Structure 1
Amino acid sequence: MSYEHLAEVYDRLMKDAPYEEWETFFRKVLEREQTQTVNVLELGCGTGEITHRLAESGYRMTGVDLSPEMLSIAASKRNTSIQWIQQDITDLQGFSGYDAVISFCDVVNYITDSDGLASMFRHTSQALKGEGLFVFDVQSPSYALEHLAGETFAEVYDDLSYIWFCDRDGDLLTHDLTFFTEDGQRYQRFDEEHQQRIYSLEEISRLLVQNGFRIASVHSDFSLEEGTEGDRIFFVCQKV
């Protein structure tokens, strides 16, 4: 999986993403849990949109991502107090004492094997202080199967266009993306392939419990009401 070229156009493609809803959901969870939270670690921070928003709300933020291109863009944005670190989130090293860890926008689905996900959960637990919170989301299996698998998506702008094919093989989704970006009088083509895993909520719950967490609540589609009927499922977990 490469973000070498995608990083350049990522923010434009995600301009309508519900960043404010992710930020608001997390802050409301903290209010509900009555948790005194200062230090927050974001795993799979990408170009840092959520990281920056939370930093501007007063949290001391650290953003981790595997892609140096994504982190370079994140670091060039408005807030300079954030610490940016390039690491594999399934093998975090040197993190401890965080009040909360977050991972939004389907990051967990990009970990395509159960061992890797278990390792991510275990290292996340180690990064948290006692009873710290871990809040993350995943695509619901119904959304992945009904709205992504077997579908083709395309968008055309004045200086950018893309075609996105999504194929399914068992519980793996393969996203084949072809981009055309304006380069002077020509258009430059680049291709990327990304894979995601469709996880059952039962498997995620089992791996969380096995790797240092209790599940405080499960939500769907940014609602604070508990439930699992929706496109995006949120887990609120506490280190034990």
Structure 2
Amino acid sequence: MSYERFAYLYDELMQDVPYEKWVEILEAYKEKFQVNGMKLLDLACGTGELSVRLAQKGYDVTGADLSGDMLSVAQVKAQDLSLPIHFFQQDMTELEDLGEFDMIGIFCDSLNYLEDENAVRKTFEGVHRLLKKGGLFIFDIHSVYKMDHIFADATFTWDAEEITYIWNSFKGDAPHSVEHELTFFVLDEKSGKYDRVDELHFQRTYPVSIYMDLVKQTGFENIEVTGDYSLKEPESTSERLFFAMIKP
């Protein structure tokens, strides 16, 4: 999957995303699990929106993402705000030595972009290796319910002066997977005409039991699962699930 021009449209399209909710959940689990350090890896950081917010709250943030275009946007944000965030281009399934961290987060359903269970397992193993003893790992994913009943065979649209999109989602070949077919029409300010941008994104999720087995096999403990930013147990119709755990 390539983000290319999508990277530069991303923030415009994500204006209504409640990033503060991810920050609140991270801080709630940091306190609950008594994590004292402030060194954090924002894995699959995208355009750095959460990296910046966390750095502004005093966290020592490192961001990593597969997309160089996304990282370019993130770096400009950090520089504009004089925030000392280090960004690295890395595949989260093949993490290199970035140091040790008190906390690692994979936010905004980024884990759902991995192709299969083996890729998820490899990511968890890399996270476990980079976390300090007693460190916090937190990630969120789309639920099976959302994949099968909200996304599958659905169409979403958005119309603004500078960007319009048509977003079609289709059931993928793998269980609990979808293919997002996005078409954007983006205003070129110089010509006054609209450019068309097409993107195809794949996402896949698994039942909670599969994620639980994978993190336990990797060596994590004290695993908690909550639904829809609530810090409460998920319901059958919860659309976003959060997992938080400790490296013993």
TM-score w.r.t. the length of structure 1 is 0.96
Gaps of 5+ in 2: none
Structure 1 residues 100-179: aligned runs within 5 Å: 100-169=103-172, 170-179=175-184
The C-alpha deviation readout for 1:137-195, integer Å capped at 9, x for no partner, is 01111122111111011111112111111001233210111111111221111111110
Matched, 1:48 2:61: no
Give, in angstroms, the shift of residue 225 of structure 1.
2.7
**Which residue matches 2:211?**
204
Q: Contact 1:209 / 1:215 at 8 angstroms: preserved in 2?
A: no
**Which residue matches 1:9?**
9
The C-alpha deviation readout for 1:86-135, integer Å capped at 9, x for no partner, is 00011100133200100111011111201100000000000101121101
* Rounded Cα–Cα distance in structure 2 between residues aligned with 1:171 and 1:225: 23
Number of residues paired by the alignment? Answer: 240
Q: Using a 3 Å threshold, how does the CA distance of structure 1 residues 171 and 231 change in structure 2: closer, same or farther?
A: closer
TM-score w.r.t. the length of structure 2 is 0.93
* Rounded Cα–Cα distance in structure 1 between residues aligned with 2:115 and 2:139: 16
* Rounded Cα–Cα distance in structure 1 between residues aligned with 2:245 and 2:82: 28
* Rounded Cα–Cα distance in structure 2 between residues aligned with 1:53 and 1:228: 29
Query: Could you tell which deviates more after superposition, 1-10 or 208-217?
Result: 208-217
Q: Contact 1:96 / 1:126 at 8 angstroms: preserved in 2?
A: no
* Rounded Cα–Cα distance in structure 2 between residues aligned with 1:47 and 1:205: 29
Which residue type is aligned with residue 137 of structure 2? F
Give, in angstroms, the shift of residue 45 of structure 1.
0.5
| Percent of aligned positions that are identical | 39
Give, in angstroms, the shift of residue 239 of structure 1.
1.2
Gaps of 5+ in 1: none
* Rounded Cα–Cα distance in structure 2 between residues aligned with 1:210 and 1:223: 27
**Which residue matches 1:188?**
195
Secondary structure of the residue aligned to 1:84 is strand
Q: Contact 2:93 / 2:126 at 8 angstroms: preserved in 1?
A: yes
Give, in angstroms, the shift of residue 35 of structure 1.
1.4
Q: Contact 1:125 / 1:211 at 8 angstroms: preserved in 2?
A: yes
